[in-house]
Amino acid sequence: MKHIAIIGGGIVGSTAAFYLAKNGHTVHLYDESTGQATKAAAGIISPWLSQRRNKVWYRLTANGAAFYQTLLKDLTQLGLSTDFYQQNGTLVFKKSEKLLQKITQLAQTRLQDDAMIGTLKQLDIPQLNALIPELHVSSQALFASGGALIDGRQFIKVLRQASAQFNFSLFEQRVALLDIMHKYDTILLAVGAWLPHLLHPLGFEVDVRAQKGQLFAAQLSNTQTDTYPVIMPQSEIDLLPFKHGKWVIGATHEDDMGFDLTVDLDVLERMKQEASIWLPELQHIDMTDIRVGTRAYTSDYTPFFGLVPTLPHVYVASGLGASGLTSGPYIAYLLSQLINGQSVTLDLEPYSPKRYIHQL
Protein backbone atom coordinates (compact mmCIF):
# COMPACT_ATOMS: atom_id res chain seq x y z
CA MET A 1 0.00 0.00 0.00
CA LYS A 2 1.22 3.49 -0.85
CA HIS A 3 1.89 6.60 1.20
CA ILE A 4 0.04 9.28 -0.79
CA ALA A 5 -0.10 13.08 -0.50
CA ILE A 6 -2.91 15.05 -2.10
CA ILE A 7 -2.44 18.81 -2.42
CA GLY A 8 -5.80 20.59 -2.69
CA GLY A 9 -8.99 19.56 -0.90
CA GLY A 10 -11.74 20.78 -3.23
CA ILE A 11 -14.04 18.29 -4.93
CA VAL A 12 -11.24 16.51 -6.80
CA GLY A 13 -8.79 16.20 -3.90
CA SER A 14 -11.47 15.24 -1.36
CA THR A 15 -13.07 12.58 -3.59
CA ALA A 16 -9.67 11.14 -4.53
CA ALA A 17 -8.70 11.05 -0.83
CA PHE A 18 -11.86 9.07 -0.07
CA TYR A 19 -11.35 6.45 -2.79
CA LEU A 20 -7.60 6.08 -2.18
CA ALA A 21 -8.03 5.75 1.60
CA LYS A 22 -10.89 3.28 1.04
CA ASN A 23 -8.52 1.25 -1.14
CA GLY A 24 -6.14 0.86 1.81
CA HIS A 25 -3.55 3.56 1.06
CA THR A 26 -2.31 6.02 3.70
CA VAL A 27 -3.54 9.44 2.56
CA HIS A 28 -2.40 12.90 3.68
CA LEU A 29 -4.60 15.71 2.34
CA TYR A 30 -3.16 19.26 2.37
CA ASP A 31 -5.72 22.01 1.81
CA GLU A 32 -5.32 25.73 2.31
CA SER A 33 -8.89 26.42 1.04
CA THR A 34 -8.84 30.22 0.42
CA GLY A 35 -10.74 30.91 -2.80
CA GLN A 36 -11.66 27.24 -3.27
CA ALA A 37 -14.10 26.90 -6.19
CA THR A 38 -15.92 23.91 -4.69
CA LYS A 39 -17.15 25.66 -1.55
CA ALA A 40 -18.22 28.75 -3.55
CA ALA A 41 -19.96 26.87 -6.35
CA ALA A 42 -23.64 27.02 -7.25
CA GLY A 43 -24.25 23.26 -7.48
CA ILE A 44 -25.84 22.37 -10.84
CA ILE A 45 -25.34 18.83 -12.13
CA SER A 46 -26.92 18.93 -15.58
CA PRO A 47 -24.46 18.78 -18.49
CA TRP A 48 -26.84 17.34 -21.09
CA LEU A 49 -28.72 20.55 -21.80
CA SER A 50 -25.61 22.51 -22.72
CA GLN A 51 -25.18 23.51 -26.35
CA ARG A 52 -21.39 23.40 -26.12
CA ARG A 53 -19.98 21.52 -29.10
CA ASN A 54 -16.89 20.24 -27.26
CA LYS A 55 -17.47 16.46 -27.38
CA VAL A 56 -14.45 15.69 -25.20
CA TRP A 57 -15.86 17.96 -22.48
CA TYR A 58 -19.36 16.54 -22.91
CA ARG A 59 -18.30 12.89 -22.51
CA LEU A 60 -16.47 13.65 -19.27
CA THR A 61 -19.24 15.74 -17.70
CA ALA A 62 -22.03 13.37 -18.81
CA ASN A 63 -20.12 10.43 -17.30
CA GLY A 64 -19.50 12.63 -14.25
CA ALA A 65 -23.20 13.34 -13.72
CA ALA A 66 -23.94 9.61 -13.94
CA PHE A 67 -21.05 8.71 -11.62
CA TYR A 68 -22.83 10.42 -8.69
CA GLN A 69 -25.06 7.33 -8.36
CA THR A 70 -21.99 5.15 -7.62
CA LEU A 71 -20.56 7.69 -5.22
CA LEU A 72 -23.86 8.08 -3.34
CA LYS A 73 -24.05 4.30 -2.95
CA ASP A 74 -20.45 4.12 -1.69
CA LEU A 75 -21.12 6.82 0.91
CA THR A 76 -24.44 5.31 1.99
CA GLN A 77 -22.75 1.94 2.55
CA LEU A 78 -20.50 3.66 5.09
CA GLY A 79 -23.54 5.03 6.92
CA LEU A 80 -23.12 8.63 5.73
CA SER A 81 -25.90 11.04 4.82
CA THR A 82 -26.13 11.99 1.14
CA ASP A 83 -28.57 14.84 1.53
CA PHE A 84 -26.01 17.20 -0.04
CA TYR A 85 -27.45 15.84 -3.34
CA GLN A 86 -30.99 16.58 -4.57
CA GLN A 87 -32.26 15.18 -7.86
CA ASN A 88 -35.42 17.09 -8.83
CA GLY A 89 -34.63 17.71 -12.50
CA THR A 90 -33.71 20.78 -14.53
CA LEU A 91 -35.88 23.33 -16.35
CA VAL A 92 -34.32 25.06 -19.35
CA PHE A 93 -35.76 28.17 -20.96
CA LYS A 94 -34.77 29.43 -24.41
CA LYS A 95 -35.27 32.79 -26.09
CA SER A 96 -37.48 31.38 -28.87
CA GLU A 97 -39.62 28.36 -29.61
CA LYS A 98 -37.17 27.38 -32.35
CA LEU A 99 -34.24 27.29 -29.89
CA LEU A 100 -36.31 25.27 -27.43
CA GLN A 101 -37.06 22.70 -30.16
CA LYS A 102 -33.36 22.58 -31.00
CA ILE A 103 -32.25 21.85 -27.43
CA THR A 104 -35.08 19.32 -27.05
CA GLN A 105 -33.83 17.44 -30.11
CA LEU A 106 -30.24 17.56 -28.87
CA ALA A 107 -31.31 16.21 -25.47
CA GLN A 108 -33.32 13.42 -27.12
CA THR A 109 -30.27 12.40 -29.16
CA ARG A 110 -28.06 12.47 -26.07
CA LEU A 111 -30.59 10.37 -24.17
CA GLN A 112 -29.66 7.39 -26.38
CA ASP A 113 -26.21 7.25 -24.71
CA ASP A 114 -26.93 8.97 -21.42
CA ALA A 115 -29.95 7.48 -19.69
CA MET A 116 -29.28 9.72 -16.66
CA ILE A 117 -31.01 12.59 -18.52
CA GLY A 118 -34.21 10.84 -17.46
CA THR A 119 -37.61 11.86 -18.75
CA LEU A 120 -37.75 14.80 -21.16
CA LYS A 121 -40.88 16.89 -21.56
CA GLN A 122 -41.85 20.38 -22.59
CA LEU A 123 -43.96 22.19 -19.99
CA ASP A 124 -46.34 25.00 -20.95
CA ILE A 125 -47.00 28.13 -18.88
CA PRO A 126 -49.92 26.73 -16.80
CA GLN A 127 -47.87 23.61 -15.99
CA LEU A 128 -44.91 25.77 -14.96
CA ASN A 129 -47.14 27.98 -12.79
CA ALA A 130 -48.49 24.89 -11.05
CA LEU A 131 -44.99 23.48 -10.52
CA ILE A 132 -43.33 26.68 -9.17
CA PRO A 133 -45.94 29.31 -8.27
CA GLU A 134 -43.37 31.98 -7.33
CA LEU A 135 -41.67 31.77 -10.75
CA HIS A 136 -42.66 34.40 -13.32
CA VAL A 137 -42.71 32.72 -16.74
CA SER A 138 -43.69 33.93 -20.19
CA SER A 139 -42.74 30.92 -22.30
CA GLN A 140 -42.62 27.15 -22.16
CA ALA A 141 -39.55 25.22 -20.97
CA LEU A 142 -37.84 21.86 -21.34
CA PHE A 143 -37.79 19.66 -18.24
CA ALA A 144 -35.20 16.88 -17.78
CA SER A 145 -35.85 14.73 -14.72
CA GLY A 146 -32.21 13.59 -14.25
CA GLY A 147 -30.87 17.06 -13.39
CA ALA A 148 -29.60 17.50 -9.85
CA LEU A 149 -27.98 20.00 -7.53
CA ILE A 150 -25.43 19.61 -4.77
CA ASP A 151 -24.23 21.66 -1.84
CA GLY A 152 -20.46 21.66 -2.46
CA ARG A 153 -19.50 22.61 1.11
CA GLN A 154 -21.65 19.89 2.62
CA PHE A 155 -20.33 17.35 0.13
CA ILE A 156 -16.71 18.09 1.12
CA LYS A 157 -17.61 17.58 4.80
CA VAL A 158 -19.22 14.21 4.06
CA LEU A 159 -16.24 13.07 1.98
CA ARG A 160 -13.90 13.93 4.83
CA GLN A 161 -16.06 12.03 7.34
CA ALA A 162 -15.97 9.06 4.96
CA SER A 163 -12.18 9.28 4.54
CA ALA A 164 -11.74 9.48 8.32
CA GLN A 165 -13.03 5.90 8.56
CA PHE A 166 -9.75 4.84 6.89
CA ASN A 167 -6.07 5.79 7.09
CA PHE A 168 -6.52 9.50 6.35
CA SER A 169 -5.12 12.77 7.78
CA LEU A 170 -6.07 16.34 6.89
CA PHE A 171 -3.55 19.20 7.13
CA GLU A 172 -5.18 22.61 6.71
CA GLN A 173 -2.13 24.35 5.36
CA ARG A 174 -0.48 25.51 2.13
CA VAL A 175 2.42 23.32 0.95
CA ALA A 176 4.96 23.57 -1.86
CA LEU A 177 5.47 20.54 -4.07
CA LEU A 178 9.25 20.78 -3.70
CA ASP A 179 8.94 20.48 0.10
CA ILE A 180 7.06 17.18 0.06
CA MET A 181 8.14 15.74 -3.27
CA HIS A 182 10.45 13.07 -1.84
CA LYS A 183 8.41 12.17 1.23
CA TYR A 184 5.61 10.23 -0.52
CA ASP A 185 5.30 7.31 -2.96
CA THR A 186 2.65 9.19 -4.95
CA ILE A 187 1.45 12.80 -5.02
CA LEU A 188 -1.77 14.16 -6.53
CA LEU A 189 -2.00 17.85 -7.38
CA ALA A 190 -5.68 18.82 -7.11
CA VAL A 191 -5.18 22.55 -6.66
CA GLY A 192 -7.55 23.87 -9.34
CA ALA A 193 -6.54 27.34 -10.56
CA TRP A 194 -3.39 27.37 -8.41
CA LEU A 195 -1.60 24.69 -10.47
CA PRO A 196 0.78 27.15 -12.22
CA HIS A 197 1.93 28.39 -8.76
CA LEU A 198 2.78 24.84 -7.75
CA LEU A 199 4.56 23.78 -10.95
CA HIS A 200 6.42 26.96 -11.98
CA PRO A 201 9.12 26.45 -9.32
CA LEU A 202 9.88 23.07 -10.95
CA GLY A 203 10.28 24.68 -14.38
CA PHE A 204 6.87 23.91 -15.88
CA GLU A 205 4.60 26.18 -17.88
CA VAL A 206 0.91 25.42 -17.32
CA ASP A 207 -2.03 26.32 -19.55
CA VAL A 208 -4.45 27.17 -16.73
CA ARG A 209 -5.94 30.58 -16.01
CA ALA A 210 -8.05 31.80 -13.10
CA GLN A 211 -11.60 33.12 -13.41
CA LYS A 212 -13.52 34.85 -10.63
CA GLY A 213 -17.06 33.67 -9.81
CA GLN A 214 -19.52 35.32 -7.41
CA LEU A 215 -22.98 34.30 -6.31
CA PHE A 216 -25.46 34.90 -3.51
CA ALA A 217 -28.31 33.17 -1.71
CA ALA A 218 -31.71 34.49 -0.62
CA GLN A 219 -34.45 33.14 1.62
CA LEU A 220 -37.86 33.40 -0.06
CA SER A 221 -41.19 33.14 1.76
CA ASN A 222 -42.37 29.84 0.25
CA THR A 223 -40.41 27.17 2.13
CA GLN A 224 -41.91 24.24 0.17
CA THR A 225 -39.04 24.09 -2.33
CA ASP A 226 -37.73 20.62 -1.55
CA THR A 227 -38.95 19.12 -4.84
CA TYR A 228 -38.30 22.08 -7.15
CA PRO A 229 -36.05 21.59 -10.21
CA VAL A 230 -33.04 23.79 -11.00
CA ILE A 231 -34.01 26.66 -13.32
CA MET A 232 -31.71 27.62 -16.18
CA PRO A 233 -32.91 30.74 -18.03
CA GLN A 234 -30.92 31.51 -21.17
CA SER A 235 -28.60 34.03 -19.55
CA GLU A 236 -25.60 34.09 -17.25
CA ILE A 237 -27.71 33.42 -14.16
CA ASP A 238 -29.18 30.18 -12.93
CA LEU A 239 -31.71 29.81 -10.10
CA LEU A 240 -31.12 26.93 -7.69
CA PRO A 241 -33.85 26.03 -5.20
CA PHE A 242 -32.37 24.38 -2.13
CA LYS A 243 -34.49 23.01 0.70
CA HIS A 244 -36.77 25.17 2.90
CA GLY A 245 -37.00 28.17 0.55
CA LYS A 246 -33.28 28.92 0.18
CA TRP A 247 -32.41 29.96 -3.37
CA VAL A 248 -28.88 30.30 -4.75
CA ILE A 249 -28.52 32.74 -7.63
CA GLY A 250 -25.39 32.68 -9.71
CA ALA A 251 -22.91 32.98 -10.98
CA THR A 252 -20.61 35.57 -12.53
CA HIS A 253 -17.81 34.59 -14.93
CA GLU A 254 -15.24 37.37 -14.52
CA ASP A 255 -12.09 37.07 -16.61
CA ASP A 256 -9.00 39.23 -16.04
CA MET A 257 -9.64 39.40 -12.28
CA GLY A 258 -7.00 36.79 -11.41
CA PHE A 259 -7.38 35.47 -7.87
CA ASP A 260 -9.36 38.50 -6.65
CA LEU A 261 -11.86 37.47 -3.95
CA THR A 262 -13.42 40.87 -3.27
CA VAL A 263 -17.21 40.95 -3.06
CA ASP A 264 -18.42 43.31 -5.81
CA LEU A 265 -21.88 44.46 -4.71
CA ASP A 266 -22.57 46.30 -7.99
CA VAL A 267 -22.10 43.11 -9.98
CA LEU A 268 -24.20 41.10 -7.51
CA GLU A 269 -26.96 43.74 -7.51
CA ARG A 270 -27.15 43.55 -11.32
CA MET A 271 -27.43 39.78 -11.09
CA LYS A 272 -30.17 40.15 -8.48
CA GLN A 273 -32.14 42.53 -10.73
CA GLU A 274 -31.93 40.04 -13.59
CA ALA A 275 -33.01 37.18 -11.33
CA SER A 276 -35.94 39.28 -10.03
CA ILE A 277 -37.53 39.07 -13.48
CA TRP A 278 -37.92 35.34 -12.78
CA LEU A 279 -38.45 35.48 -9.02
CA PRO A 280 -40.14 38.88 -8.40
CA GLU A 281 -40.06 38.47 -4.60
CA LEU A 282 -36.26 38.75 -4.76
CA GLN A 283 -36.55 42.53 -5.29
CA HIS A 284 -37.58 42.97 -1.65
CA ILE A 285 -35.17 40.49 -0.11
CA ASP A 286 -31.58 40.91 1.06
CA MET A 287 -28.75 38.82 -0.29
CA THR A 288 -27.25 36.35 2.17
CA ASP A 289 -24.37 33.90 1.98
CA ILE A 290 -22.40 35.78 -0.71
CA ARG A 291 -19.64 33.52 -2.03
CA VAL A 292 -16.61 34.20 -4.21
CA GLY A 293 -14.38 31.51 -5.69
CA THR A 294 -11.80 30.94 -8.40
CA ARG A 295 -12.43 28.62 -11.35
CA ALA A 296 -9.62 27.06 -13.42
CA TYR A 297 -9.76 27.13 -17.22
CA THR A 298 -7.52 25.73 -19.94
CA SER A 299 -7.29 27.62 -23.24
CA ASP A 300 -9.59 25.09 -24.97
CA TYR A 301 -11.96 24.79 -21.95
CA THR A 302 -11.21 21.06 -21.54
CA PRO A 303 -10.16 19.60 -18.17
CA PHE A 304 -7.04 17.44 -17.96
CA PHE A 305 -5.84 14.75 -15.58
CA GLY A 306 -3.18 12.03 -15.37
CA LEU A 307 0.58 11.96 -14.79
CA VAL A 308 2.61 15.18 -14.86
CA PRO A 309 5.07 14.85 -17.80
CA THR A 310 8.54 13.72 -16.60
CA LEU A 311 7.41 13.25 -12.96
CA PRO A 312 6.49 9.54 -12.77
CA HIS A 313 4.96 9.65 -9.30
CA VAL A 314 3.05 12.96 -9.54
CA TYR A 315 -0.53 12.99 -10.83
CA VAL A 316 -2.59 16.08 -11.56
CA ALA A 317 -6.12 17.28 -12.37
CA SER A 318 -7.09 20.84 -13.29
CA GLY A 319 -9.01 23.03 -15.72
CA LEU A 320 -12.46 21.85 -14.62
CA GLY A 321 -13.93 25.27 -15.43
CA ALA A 322 -17.61 25.94 -14.73
CA SER A 323 -18.62 22.27 -14.54
CA GLY A 324 -16.19 20.81 -12.03
CA LEU A 325 -18.86 19.85 -9.52
CA THR A 326 -20.19 17.63 -12.30
CA SER A 327 -16.95 16.12 -13.62
CA GLY A 328 -14.80 16.38 -10.46
CA PRO A 329 -15.79 13.21 -8.56
CA TYR A 330 -15.55 11.08 -11.72
CA ILE A 331 -12.10 12.49 -12.56
CA ALA A 332 -10.99 11.79 -8.98
CA TYR A 333 -12.30 8.23 -9.19
CA LEU A 334 -10.46 7.61 -12.48
CA LEU A 335 -7.27 9.00 -10.94
CA SER A 336 -7.64 6.68 -7.96
CA GLN A 337 -7.91 3.76 -10.39
CA LEU A 338 -4.75 4.87 -12.23
CA ILE A 339 -2.88 5.23 -8.93
CA ASN A 340 -4.04 1.71 -7.98
CA GLY A 341 -2.60 0.43 -11.27
CA GLN A 342 -6.07 -0.48 -12.57
CA SER A 343 -7.22 0.04 -16.14
CA VAL A 344 -9.98 2.55 -16.87
CA THR A 345 -12.79 2.34 -19.41
CA LEU A 346 -12.59 5.93 -20.75
CA ASP A 347 -10.10 6.90 -23.51
CA LEU A 348 -7.83 9.24 -21.52
CA GLU A 349 -5.76 10.58 -24.41
CA PRO A 350 -7.94 13.72 -25.01
CA TYR A 351 -7.47 14.65 -21.32
CA SER A 352 -3.70 14.13 -21.21
CA PRO A 353 -1.76 16.64 -19.05
CA LYS A 354 0.90 16.66 -21.82
CA ARG A 355 -1.37 18.99 -23.77
CA TYR A 356 -1.38 21.60 -21.00
CA ILE A 357 1.88 21.22 -19.02
CA HIS A 358 5.24 21.87 -20.69
CA GLN A 359 8.77 21.93 -19.32
CA LEU A 360 10.41 25.32 -19.91
Ligand X SMILES: Cc1cc2nc3c(=O)[nH]c(=O)nc-3n(C[C@H](O)[C@H](O)[C@H](O)COP(=O)(O)OP(=O)(O)OC[C@H]3O[C@@H](n4cnc5c(N)ncnc54)[C@H](O)[C@@H]3O)c2cc1C
Contact (CB, 8 A) for 292 and 264: no
Among 91, 190, 218, 237, binds ligand X (CB under 6 A): 190
Instruction: Provide, rounded to whole angstroms, the least separation between the CB of residue 56 and ligand X.
Output: 16
**By CB neighbour count within 10 A (0-12 exposed, 13-18 middle, 19+ buried), where does 106 fall?**
middle
Give the H or E element holding residue 328.
helix 324-339
Choose the binding region for ligand X from 18-26, 34-42, 95-103, 343-351 (rule: CB under 6 A). Answer: 34-42
**Alpha-carbon gap, residue 242 to 149, rounded angstroms:** 8
Instruction: Provide, rounded to whole angstroms, the least separation between the CB of residue 241 and ligand X.
Output: 13
Residue-wise burial string across 186-209, b where 16 or more C-beta atoms lie within 10 A, e elsewhere: bbbbbbbbbbbebbeebebebbbb
Instruction: Provide, rounded to whole angstroms, the least separation between the CB of residue 118 and ligand X.
Output: 18
Among 13, 89, 196, 329, binds ligand X (CB under 6 A): 13
Among 27, 71, 75, 191, binds ligand X (CB under 6 A): 191
218 binds ligand X (CB under 6 A): no
Q: Please list every residue from 302 through 331 that binds ligand X, using CB under 6 A.
A: 320-326, 328
What 3-state DSSP class applies to 256?
coil
Position closest to ligand X via CB: 324
**By CB neighbour count within 10 A (0-12 exposed, 13-18 middle, 19+ buried), where does 30 fall?**
buried
Choose the binding region for ligand X from 41-49, 86-94, 259-267, 278-286 (rule: CB under 6 A). Answer: 41-49
31 binds ligand X (CB under 6 A): yes
CA-based nearest residue to 296, from 3, 6, 12, 5: 12
Which residues make up the interface to ligand X (CB under 6 A)?
7-13, 30-38, 40-44, 174-175, 190-192, 194, 198, 213, 215, 250-251, 293, 295, 320-326, 328
